[in-house]
Chains A and B, each alone.
Chain A
Amino acid sequence: MLDRTLVLDRLSKRFGEVVALDAVSFDVRPGELFGFVGSNGAGKTTAMRIVLGVLAADSGEVRFDGRPVTYEMRTRIGYMPEERGLYPKMKVLDQLVYLAQLHGLAPNEAHRSAETWIARLGLAERRHDEVQKLSLGNQQRVQLAAALVHDPDVLVLDEPFSGLDPIAVDVMSQVLREKAATGVPVVFSSHQLDLVERLCDRVGIIRSGRMVAAGTVDELTEGAATQLTVTAPQAPPGWAAALPGVHVVSENGTSTVVELSPGADDQTVLEAALATGPVREFTRRRPPLTELFRNAVTQGSEQ
């Protein structure tokens, strides 16, 4: 396995009768942003808590840099739990310094690092305020700073984008990208699939404790049906219906939207369209992750 890769290897966890995780495996490579998606209760948080050692797996193993993650190694992980995870009555700066020190930073280093992240995340004016007095968006920033303040080698974030305004989303995305660019594996869970698609190098989809898909967005969408939009003014209605592997989704005036079966050649469609006269538009549209996710989840439930 590659160096500095975070590997989840066949993690299983039951809570009484409920199977929370069933042999969940995926890896997050250095410098990669990995999006972890799934519906509520699918097992995202459980998996993350196992990575952090906050919860013990029934079986399976978490490895980093080729070795099982131990207690000593966990201080090198930055973690952002889903709900808060800060002392409500502690001041922002004190809180970050404290967490940095608990992760092994010397007092001076801890101060420097806390101040750096406070400035970087636009919290300078709030540094002596109690966390509970901040807006939710600002609390989320403090939370991110808390995950980053000890300069971690791995980042694990549970729903970091939930409840953020667009500007905060941009700041958060940028920080995560920069962190990944330094060679740190970054994994985060999210419900905002458009964001995951835009931001992530790879995506894993979990359903009822099982991984149903993992790979780059391209890999995941490759196998899925592709849609084409063709505008050919002189084409007669139903011109595309007989083409092999083509399913007409809609015909709207001169525009036709067709869906290609996996393996069907889009060039055949173009030739057929050109045969009818001029072609004004020929767009290949990849289905968004949202659709893919919906498919993965519904296919799963039909099994």
Chain B
Amino acid sequence: MNGNQRSVPPATAVRLVAQRELNTRLRTRGFVVGTLVILAVMVGYLLLQANLFNRENTTTVGLTGQAAAIAEPLRAGAGQVGMELQVERVPSAAQGSAQVSEGELDVLVAGSPANLRVTVESELDAPLRALLNGISRQEVLDAKLVEAGQVPAEVMSEVNAARVQVSTLEQPDPAPGQRTVVALVMLFLLYMGITSYGSLVAQGIVEEKSSRVVEILLSTVRPWHLLLGKVIGLGLVGLTQLFIIGVAGLAMASATGVLTITGVATTTLLWGLLWYILGFFLYATVFAAAGSLVSRQEDMQAVLTPVTIVLLIGFITGFTVIQEPDGTLAVVLSLVPLLSPILMPGRIATGAAGGLEIAVALVLTLAAITALTWLGGRVYRAAVLRTGSRVRLTDALRG
């Protein structure tokens, strides 16, 4: 007999419960496979994009005979107009033609610099035509300048110094399309993350109820500690997954050149992580309360449906909101506390959300979290020990 009193401090109880959730979930096949599948889909998508991107934008030019002399000016000219050009030397015109018809070369250039002859499969695209014309003209111009007793290089340096001056009225948006894609990806990840990890909270509670572990747990831990530990634990698991997917996705998209607005995407990811935390806490206790009403996994779907439908509404309206992020509808919807965590990050990504709007959404969401956590905790405490048939929400609220 030791007779010592070894009660567990609340913080320790919450930590132990959260740790169990982390340990059991992070190590499950479900988590690892789920994360890998999402990453694999992402890699596949990006490789496809990058490949299409390269095919579309890189033109392979073969030079043969005298035309080999234009390799340097061709590369320089392409660089100036932002054209992806690969220049190769081809031993003979016949071989070059064969390569063009086989698709190995896009363009074959022969003839003297002043009189270039171009072979293509069907048509020569306009920028390259302009570039080649420019080189030919330069050649002719140089010859004429020499005839007139001028030094071509001197004249050209003066000519090249002449430039247009550009003034912009609005800040340029380098890639509006990319912003939309980033916003859509964030919308999808947040919807999936909150729905799946919220459901896991409910599922865990039903598991504890149906196996009666909850009786043993609640004989030593208070309901609040158990609930909080569970929510924190699962929230961290979801955050870890979102973080892995976000960082990996960002890195891959930047590396493959599909994404050029890395700064915007990074900011979006950081906002996304914050909104995930808020959204998860907002919904977790609601999921927990719903789960605590039933004692069997089979009955769970029925009580979770109302909650998942709200999330689904957020997800579906998200597409409209991202297409038109400045509209009144988008502004109003993204300020509704239950929808903010899903809609706001998308609007932030498109650059449409002002600082004040974001601040209001944050305050409203925090208030909603406080209210729903109180309510959810109350239902959970009242219902979690009532095994058997489904507990009515009104009975649970009455305590």
Name the residue among B8, B17, B220 with the largest chain A CB count within 10 angstroms.
B220
Chain A contacts of B222 at CB under 8 A?
71
Per the bound structure, the CA–CA distance linking A88 and B2 in Å amounts to 32
Chain B: minimal CB distance from A254 (Å):
56
Does A57 sit within 8 A of B, measured CB to CB?
A: no
- Residue of A whose beta carbon sits closest to that of B219: A52
Does A264 sit within 8 A of B, measured CB to CB?
A: no
Chain B: minimal CB distance from A177 (Å):
16
Closest 5 CB pairs of A and B: A104-B6, A72-B7, A52-B219, A85-B212, A81-B215
20 contacts between A and B (CB under 8 A): A53-B219, A54-B215, A54-B219, A55-B385, A71-B7, A73-B7, A75-B7, A79-B216, A79-B219, A81-B215, A81-B216, A85-B213, A88-B207, A98-B20, A102-B220, A102-B221, A104-B220, A150-B6, A151-B2, A153-B3
Do the beta carbons of A73 and B5 come within 8 Å of each other?
yes
Proximity string of chain B (314-358) to chain A, C-beta cutoff 8 Å, 1 when within and 0 when not = 000000000000000000000000000000000000000000000
- Residue of A whose beta carbon sits closest to that of B225: A102
Chain B contacts of A83 at CB under 8 A?
212
Chain B: minimal CB distance from A55 (Å):
7
Residues 11-55 (chain A) with a chain B CB within 8 angstroms: 49, 52-55
Do the beta carbons of B7 and A85 come within 8 Å of each other?
no
Per the bound structure, the CA–CA distance linking A73 and B367 in Å amounts to 36
**Given B5, B13, B215, B385, which contacts A102 in the complex, CB threshold below 8 Å?**
B13
Chain B contacts of A90 at CB under 8 A?
24
Chain B contacts of A151 at CB under 8 A?
2
Residues 173-195 (chain A) with a chain B CB within 8 angstroms: 182-184
**Given A73, A87, A184, which contacts B213 in the complex, CB threshold below 8 Å?**
A87
**Given B23, B212, B220, B385, which contacts A103 in the complex, CB threshold below 8 Å?**
B220
Does B166 sit within 8 A of A, measured CB to CB?
A: no
**Given B1, B8, B17, B385, which contacts A54 in the complex, CB threshold below 8 Å?**
B385
Chain B: minimal CB distance from A117 (Å):
15
Does B143 sit within 8 A of A, measured CB to CB?
A: no
Whether A98 touches B211, Cβ cut-off 8 Å, given contacts A103-B8, A104-B7, A182-B1, is no
Do the beta carbons of A54 and B218 come within 8 Å of each other?
yes
Chain B contacts of A232 at CB under 8 A?
none
Chain B, interface size: which category? 20 to 34
Does B16 sit within 8 A of A, measured CB to CB?
A: yes
Do the beta carbons of A81 and B212 come within 8 Å of each other?
yes
- Residue of B whose beta carbon sits closest to that of A82: B212
Per the bound structure, the CA–CA distance linking A104 and B213 in Å amounts to 17
Do the beta carbons of A79 and B8 come within 8 Å of each other?
no
Partner-B contacts on A (CB < 8 A): 4, 49, 52-55, 71-77, 79, 81-90, 94, 98-99, 101-105, 146, 150-151, 153, 182-184
Do the beta carbons of B216 and A99 come within 8 Å of each other?
yes
Per the bound structure, the CA–CA distance linking A98 and B16 in Å amounts to 8
Does B140 sit within 8 A of A, measured CB to CB?
A: no
The A/B interface has a contact count, at CB < 8 Å, of 80
Proximity string of chain B (198-220) to chain A, C-beta cutoff 8 Å, 1 when within and 0 when not = 00000000011001110111111
Do the beta carbons of B6 and A76 come within 8 Å of each other?
yes
Do the beta carbons of A105 and B6 come within 8 Å of each other?
yes
Chain B contacts of A98 at CB under 8 A?
16, 20
Chain A: minimal CB distance from B205 (Å):
12
Per the bound structure, the CA–CA distance linking A76 and B215 in Å amounts to 15
- Residue of B whose beta carbon sits closest to that of A70: B7
Chain A: minimal CB distance from B221 (Å):
6
Whether A85 touches B1, Cβ cut-off 8 Å, given contacts A72-B7, A103-B6, A104-B6, is no
Per the bound structure, the CA–CA distance linking A82 and B385 in Å amounts to 14
Do the beta carbons of A49 and B215 come within 8 Å of each other?
yes
Do the beta carbons of B8 and A102 come within 8 Å of each other?
yes
Chain A contacts of B207 at CB under 8 A?
87-88
Chain A: minimal CB distance from B382 (Å):
11
**Given A4, A75, A84, A183, which contacts B220 in the complex, CB threshold below 8 Å?**
A75
Chain A contacts of B218 at CB under 8 A?
53-54
- Residue of B whose beta carbon sits closest to that of A80: B216
Chain B: minimal CB distance from A295 (Å):
33
Name the residue among B17, B215, B218, B222 with the largest chain A CB count within 10 angstroms.
B215
Per the bound structure, the CA–CA distance linking A261 and B20 in Å amounts to 62
Per the bound structure, the CA–CA distance linking A1 and B202 in Å amounts to 45
Whether A184 touches B1, Cβ cut-off 8 Å, given contacts A75-B6, A88-B207, is yes
Per the bound structure, the CA–CA distance linking A105 and B3 in Å amounts to 13
Do the beta carbons of B216 and A101 come within 8 Å of each other?
no
Do the beta carbons of B3 and A86 come within 8 Å of each other?
no
- Residue of B whose beta carbon sits closest to that of A53: B219
Do the beta carbons of B211 and A77 come within 8 Å of each other?
no
- Residue of A whose beta carbon sits closest to that of B7: A72
- Residue of B whose beta carbon sits closest to that of A77: B219
Per the bound structure, the CA–CA distance linking A85 and B17 in Å amounts to 16
Per the bound structure, the CA–CA distance linking A87 and B208 in Å amounts to 7
Per the bound structure, the CA–CA distance linking A105 and B16 in Å amounts to 12
Chain A: minimal CB distance from B301 (Å):
20
**Given A75, A99, A183, which contacts B1 in the complex, CB threshold below 8 Å?**
A183
Do the beta carbons of B219 and A87 come within 8 Å of each other?
no
Per the bound structure, the CA–CA distance linking A88 and B211 in Å amounts to 7
Chain B: minimal CB distance from A140 (Å):
13
Chain A contacts of B216 at CB under 8 A?
79, 81, 85, 99, 146
Do the beta carbons of A102 and B16 come within 8 Å of each other?
yes
Per the bound structure, the CA–CA distance linking A98 and B22 in Å amounts to 13
Chain A: minimal CB distance from B7 (Å):
4
Do the beta carbons of A86 and B7 come within 8 Å of each other?
no
- Residue of B whose beta carbon sits closest to that of A15: B386
Could you list 4 further interchain pairs (A-B, Cβ under 8 angstroms) beyond the known A75-B6, A94-B23?
A54-B219, A85-B215, A87-B208, A87-B213
- Residue of A whose beta carbon sits closest to that of B20: A98
Chain A: minimal CB distance from B393 (Å):
18
Per the bound structure, the CA–CA distance linking A207 and B6 in Å amounts to 36
Per the bound structure, the CA–CA distance linking A86 and B23 in Å amounts to 17
Per the bound structure, the CA–CA distance linking A36 and B5 in Å amounts to 27
Chain B contacts of A87 at CB under 8 A?
207-208, 211, 213
Per the bound structure, the CA–CA distance linking A84 and B3 in Å amounts to 28
Chain A: minimal CB distance from B90 (Å):
66
